[in-house]
Structure 1
Amino acid sequence: MSSTPPRPRALFAMGRPHRDALFPRAAIDRLTRLVDIEPDLVAEDFDHVPHLAAVELLITSWGCRPLDDAVLARMPALKAVVHAAGSVKHHVTEACWERGLHVSTAAAANAEYTLAAILFANKRVLEIGGLYREHRDALDWAAHFPGFGNYRRTIGLVGASLVGRRVLELLRPHAFDILLADPHLDPEAARSMGARLVELDELLAVSDVVSLHAPALPETYHLLDARRLSLLRDGATLVNTGRGSLIDTAALTAEALSGRIHAVLDVTEPEVLPAASPLYALPNVLLTPHIAGSLGGELARITRSALDEVERYCAGREFAYPVNRAALTTSA
């Protein structure tokens, strides 16, 4: 007579408010069918956590403490980490890779904002909305914005991170010419994603919209400096949902003040910008307070992604959105 294999022991490791927001009753019900977990036990740190040595799977999110050597020594059975959020850089340490842990992320769930920003930018929605509010009648929009619209526009993505790749997927149904700049890809890999690999300077010079998805690394600090920002074509839109440090804020402010380019900025350096920054008031700049990621009702998508990964793990399958040591050093 066959017996059902034991379910892996799992543990929530995150801030308790995040557990409560991400895992409502229905999600808990699904999770407890997959793993052996105490739903009300949330490890905001790893002190005084019962049965820690038996934990095979960590379900993490915002607020998870770093999984360093000392923590991992107390979890000899740990094999995998499913992160119900984006970046894992805050808690997945070198010790995790030395252990050979399998790590998954829900970062790819955060891409809709970028798609909307691209579509609105080419349609000149913000500018037209402002003019319409002022005039309260229909103007000759084609005369004000020659060639505006999305058909056959050139979109440049900087960085093939998980979010960048998801943006590429979302762009496919639209008639865009898509360029990609990423020093860690080859042309064939870019083609498989539906993009043409080019150097960053070329991408900046020919794109109608440039969207940033590169990681924050010493070599990407102020990746878009004054020289590179000057390469943007007149009327181009720069979208940053990645990291504020990718752009030289002073240089961008100067370009935006000239009115030559547009910008949609969900992240800035610093974050938050000083109250006196001209970027708040410029009609060609949209500032939002780091809301591109999943928030509100969108948290359910992160939860579903994490639960799907837990189900794959329990079935002995590969993660759909794995993170590995090499990719982590070159992705956002």
Structure 2
Amino acid sequence: MTGSPDARTLVSVPPALRALLFPEGVGGARLLDDASGLAAALPGTEVLVTSWGAPVLDAALLDRAPGLRLVAHIGASVKFFVTPELFARGVRVTQAGQAMARPVAEVALAFTLALLHRVHRFDHALRGGAEWSAAEQAPPRHELLGCPVGVVGASRTGRAHIELLRALGARVRVSDPYYAGEPDVPAVPLDELLATSRIVALHAPVLPETRHLIGARELALMPDGAGLVNTARSWLVDEDALLAELRTGRIDAAIDVFDAEPLPVGHPFRGLPNVLLTPHQAAGTVEARRRQGEIVLDEIARHRAGLPLRHEVTPEALERMG
């Protein structure tokens, strides 16, 4: 199902991103290039399409759009701009996070393979001008087949990563308080997962209880030569503790998310040979962006037709959302 937005739909998405999400356009929808002008554009809006950096939808903003009935977010988490006031006024909320699970899982898989085979160490050495004999030196390398991989968080992305890992023969276990275990993918306590995994991949949400879930104590549990993959949120890791552990050379890491973004040019992470870095771009494939747009248009069409939303965010779901 595809939607045909009209003037009651306000698309608050920057032009460059909008072209990726909606390559065929958005019909008669009103377009807002700068979210700072949202207040002035809201009157007459029934459906609001939001992007990253959306302002908090508080009572003052909502008063300007008494006819608002649906907020459709092109990203995953809506936690940082959706308020209880929205639900109190009968406004429904949906999001397109499902579209990004596959590309992030693929990057997590690429990180997993790179850490196992020490690709990043070889690349750093060769690009840094090391002699061939020196560049050849690296800690022991391993295959993914039969490899113990620990996944922290059975989220959409976590499950997509698990599917890819299992397809390539890894032995996967999961630590997540809401995951009871499945055949061949058991649930284990976090400490056990950390102590017995060659690769640990983070896919947990941003919640008060997950703040610095991985700190100095947890990093010390990881075996020598292990690797940490983080394509989720920097919130999950004590970055100072991780930097200290990485400086010892005992473990490796592949990181897509950071406390400071953009990552400063002089940040110590940039100079470590045992670290693989990407600039928070794990989800940004052409295919994912188009799926995000398709999900949003489909949800708008379902709303207009009076059908259940496929990706609705309820107040209860919002509490557990990262």
Range class of TM-score, shorter chain: 0.7 to 0.9
Q: 1:163 aligns with which of 153, 157, 162?
A: 157
User: Which range is displaced more, 305-314 or 107-116?
Assistant: 305-314
Structure 1 CA distance, aligned partners of 2:259 and 2:32? Answer: 37
Could you state the TM-score of these two structures normalised by the residue count of structure 1?
0.79
Structure 1 residues 80, 130: CA separation in 2 closer, same or farther (over 3 Å shift)? same
Q: 1:126 aligns with which of 120, 129, 132?
A: 120
Alignment correspondent of 1:3: none
Alignment correspondent of 1:48: 40
Counterpart check, 1:243 vs 2:241: no
Structure 1 residues 241, 71: CA separation in 2 closer, same or farther (over 3 Å shift)? same
Say whether the 8 Å CA contact 1:13–1:64 is kept in structure 2.
no
Structure 2 CA distance, aligned partners of 1:210 and 1:319? Answer: 34
Q: Which runs of 5+ in 2 are unaligned?
A: none
Say whether the 8 Å CA contact 1:11–1:41 is kept in structure 2.
no
Alignment correspondent of 1:11: 9
Alignment correspondent of 2:73: 83
Counterpart check, 1:153 vs 2:147: yes
- Could you report, residue by residue, the CA deviation over 1:44-75 in whole angstroms, capped at 9, with x for unpaired residues? 344333752xx332221124322222333343
What is the CA-CA distance between 1:16 and the residue it aligns to?
3.6
What is the CA-CA distance between 1:207 and the residue it aligns to?
1.5
Count of matched residue positions in the alignment of Structure 1 and Structure 2: 311
What is the CA-CA distance between 1:164 and the residue it aligns to?
2.7
What is the CA-CA distance between 1:298 and the residue it aligns to?
5.0
Counterpart check, 1:176 vs 2:183: no
- Could you report, residue by residue, the CA deviation over 1:260-287 in whole angstroms, capped at 9, with x for unpaired residues? 1001111223445555543211111112
- Could you report, residue by residue, the CA deviation over 1:190-248 in whole angstroms, capped at 9, with x for unpaired residues? 428x7322211111111221122223333322211111110111111111122223222
Structure 1 residues 12, 42: CA separation in 2 closer, same or farther (over 3 Å shift)? farther
Q: Which runs of 5+ in 1 are unaligned?
A: 1-5
Q: 1:285 aligns with which of 257, 269, 275?
A: 275
Which one-letter code corresponds to 1:68 in the other structure?
D
Alignment correspondent of 1:65: 55
Give the number of the structure with larger relative contact order, counting CA–CA contacts within 8 Å between residues 6 or more apart.
2
Could you state the TM-score of these two structures normalised by the residue count of structure 2?
0.81
Structure 1 residues 176, 311: CA separation in 2 closer, same or farther (over 3 Å shift)? farther
Say whether the 8 Å CA contact 1:8–1:57 is kept in structure 2.
no
Structure 2 CA distance, aligned partners of 1:264 and 1:15? Answer: 30
What is the CA-CA distance between 1:305 and the residue it aligns to?
3.1
Q: 2:216 aligns with which of 194, 209, 226?
A: 226
Alignment correspondent of 1:258: 248
Counterpart check, 1:208 vs 2:198: yes
What is the CA-CA distance between 1:170 and the residue it aligns to?
3.9
Which one-letter code corresponds to 2:153 in the other structure?
G
Say whether the 8 Å CA contact 2:215–2:241 is kept in structure 1.
yes
Structure 2 CA distance, aligned partners of 1:18 and 1:38? Answer: 17
- Percent identity, aligned pairs only? 38
Structure 1 residues 19, 224: CA separation in 2 closer, same or farther (over 3 Å shift)? closer
RMSD: 3.3
Structure 1 CA distance, aligned partners of 2:63 and 2:279? Answer: 39
Counterpart check, 1:104 vs 2:85: no
- State the secondary structure of the residue aligned to 1:322: coil
Structure 1 residues 23, 271: CA separation in 2 closer, same or farther (over 3 Å shift)? closer
Structure 1 CA distance, aligned partners of 2:290 and 2:115? Answer: 28
